[in-house]
Amino acid sequence: MTDRLTMQDPRTQYPQPPFPRQPQPVPGLAAEMDPKPDHGETSYVGAGKLKGRKALITGGDSGVGRAAAIAYAREGADVAISYLATEQSDADEVVKLIEAEGRTAVALPGDITDESWCRELVSQARAALGGLDILVINAGRQQNREDISKVTSDDFDKTMKTNLYAMHWITQAAVPHLPAGASVITTASIQAYEPSAILLDYATTKAGIVAYTKALAKQLLDKGIRANVVAPGPFWTALQASGGQPPEAVEKFGSESQYGRPGQPVELSAVYVLLASQEASFINGEVYGVTGGAGVA
């Protein structure tokens, strides 16, 4: 693969569909995907923009969270990642990548649909890192359902707790300990603006994330803390292969974007770095769309 920082046609910079059919059980593993996602393992180059910072990233084992974790470490931050215990093999790879940069890596397996664990993981992250000044709320649940009749109460409850309740519990626990200059970054989706028929509950939570973060940003600025949203479009992550899309849709995933391909997680890294860094000092309550040309409204 060509160096991603070398000028080239972005439409052909990364793999294009068709992809092999590859259904996985929830929550899915990046290591089992074909082609493998690029989280920046060999392609992200840091420049010290987050030197000395201390970050907690939920869903940091794969996908967007993994890309942010790698980038933050290469920018000089110590990083704690939360993830499900079944994702340990992916998380182990991230820990090694963080430590390879000479940074502290903290692994925090647990279920964020449990309020007590959400509060405990913040406490453990703070203790292990010696503080906390970047909070990335990224972990999400996405399961396609062909019709409203198929969205069970259990589905709705799990999606709401993973995507919305956990965001609130973790942020609520973290905010009293964040210093002025800290940054909160949430992960929404183009689904907040252009919801797919098969992602009824997921799209609802992503719209909620946008509203919650915009309101939070107004509160936190009184403390000198910024809060912003990243809204990705179609990105090649284990979320898609583990029920986020029907198996046949995974084979052509990203083909409907203007690029004709899905984004790779590393293509979000620079946005997460910017919003965490002091370079974004005048950016607050904003939604950064990274959608392959589809935009956000």
Return the pLDDT at 72.
98
- How far apart CA 25 and CA 190 sit, in angstroms, is 24
What average pLDDT score do residues 232-241 get? Answer: 96
What does DSSP assign to residue 41? T
User: What are the residue numbers of the active site?
Assistant: 202
The CB density around residue 195, as the number of other CB atoms within 10 Å, is 16
Q: What is the strand order of the sheet 183-187 is part of?
A: 105-109, 78-83, 54-58, 134-137, 183-187, 226-232, 287-290
> Given a cut of 90, is residue 51 above it in pLDDT?
yes
**Longest Cα separation, the chain:** 51
187: part of which helix (H) or strand (E)?
strand 183-187
- Token digits of residue 242: 């583990």
Give residue-wise pLDDT tens across range 127-138.
999 999 999 999
Task: Determine what percent of the chain is predicted with pLDDT higher than 70.
Answer: 99
Residue 187 predicted with pLDDT over 50: yes
What confidence tens digit (pLDDT) does each residue in 204-228 have? Answer: 999 999 999 999 999 999 999 999 9
Which tokens hold the place of 194? 């252009």
Three-state SS string over the chain comes to: CCCCCCCCCCCCCCCCCCCCCCCCCCCCCHHHCCCCCCCCCCCCCCCCCCCCCEEEEECCCCHHHHHHHHHHHHCCCEEEEEECHHHHHHHHHHHHHHHHCCCCEEEEECCCCCHHHHHHHHHHHHHHHCCCCEEEECCCCCCCCCCHHHCCHHHHHHHHHHHHHHHHHHHHHHHHHCCCCCEEEEECCHHHCCCCCCCHHHHHHHHHHHHHHHHHHHHHHHHCCEEEEEEECCECCHHHHHHHCCHHHHHCCCCCCCCCCCECHHHHHHHHHHHHCHHHCCCCCCEEEECCCCCCC
Cα gap 161→157, rounded to integer Å: 6
Q: How far apart are CA 294 and CA 260, in angstroms?
A: 12
pTM of the predicted protein model: 0.97
Of the pLDDT bands very low, low, confident and very high (cuts 50, 70, 90), residue 3 is confident
Any idea which residue has 């009749």 for tokens?
A: 149
The domains located in the chain, with CATH, are: 48-290 (3.40.50.720)
pLDDT at residue 2 tops 70:
no
What digits encode the pLDDT tens for the residues 142-185? 999 999 999 999 999 999 999 999 999 999 999 999 999 999 99
Average pLDDT, whole number, for the chain? 97
pLDDT tens for residues 108-129? Answer: 999 999 999 999 999 999 999 9
What is the per-residue pLDDT for 1?
Answer: 45
Task: Summarize the confidence of residues 59-83 as an average pLDDT.
Answer: 98
